Amino acid sequence: MNEAFSFDSAIGRITLYCTEAGISQVNLGGSHTELRINNISPILLEASCQINEYLNRQRQVFDLPLDWTAIQGFQRDVLDLTRQIAFGEVLTYGEIARRLGKPAASRAVGAALGRNPMPLLIPCHRVVAANRSLTGYSAADGIKTKAWLLTLEGGKVVGQKLV
């Protein structure tokens, strides 16, 4: 089973994909073409509800099954650790690398986060550069969306930097 569902949100169009194991992909932005499904999977409906609750400051933690099948090795380790960053908290690429026991791997952490198939659910927007600059966000409107999400969570962003 591979299903998809698109909906409009506070940050634009979001398309969710799922398998029998759980949510497998979240696409932020993109076209406004309708994906029509007669029987929408309950997990897709629940995911869209939880994401809208988050974007409306009514939820801080997602409670959804994720399909990790396509994510392995170092990327899995990075995304698993990133998923644990709490609402309103941030880590740097270097801090993640050190927590993984690979202190020289901050660029590799950035590359792994750049391939995050489930932004929001795996909150890569909560990872910033060592100087707290907002870097490396390719979902939706890029850095603008990352700044919006960090502000939603109580952060203060000035000139593409978390202060």
The predicted-structure confidence for 131-160, as pLDDT tens digits, reads as follows: 999 998 888 889 999 999 999 999 999 999
- Find the helix or strand (DSSP H, E) in which 33 lies: none
Task: Provide the pLDDT for residue 123.
Answer: 98
Residue pair 126/89 in contact (Cβ under 8 Å)? The answer is yes
| E strand or H helix at 87 | none
Instruction: Give residue 139's pLDDT.
Output: 83
Q: With 90 as the cut, is the pLDDT of residue 91 above it? A: yes
At 49, is the secondary structure helix, strand, or coil?
helix
Query: Please, are residues 119 and 125 in contact by the beta-carbon 8 Å criterion?
Result: yes
Tell whether pTM > 0.95: no
Sign of CA dihedral 19, 21, 22, 25: negative
Alpha-carbon distance of 153 to 41, in angstroms, equals 29
18 is catalytic: no
Higher-confidence residue of 36 and 72: namely 72
| pLDDT of amino acid 31 | 59
Q: Is the separation of the CB atoms in 67 and 50 below 8 Å?
A: no
Model confidence over 12-56: pLDDT tens digits? 999 999 999 999 999 998 655 555 555 789 999 999 999 999 999
Q: Which of 118, 122, 124, 134 is catalytic?
A: 124
pLDDT at residue 35 in the model: 54
**81-106 in b/e burial notation, b at 16+ Cβ within 10 A?**
bbbebeeeebbbbbbbbbebeeeebb
Q: Do residues 14 and 59 lie in contact, with contact meaning Cβ atoms separated by under 8 Å?
A: no
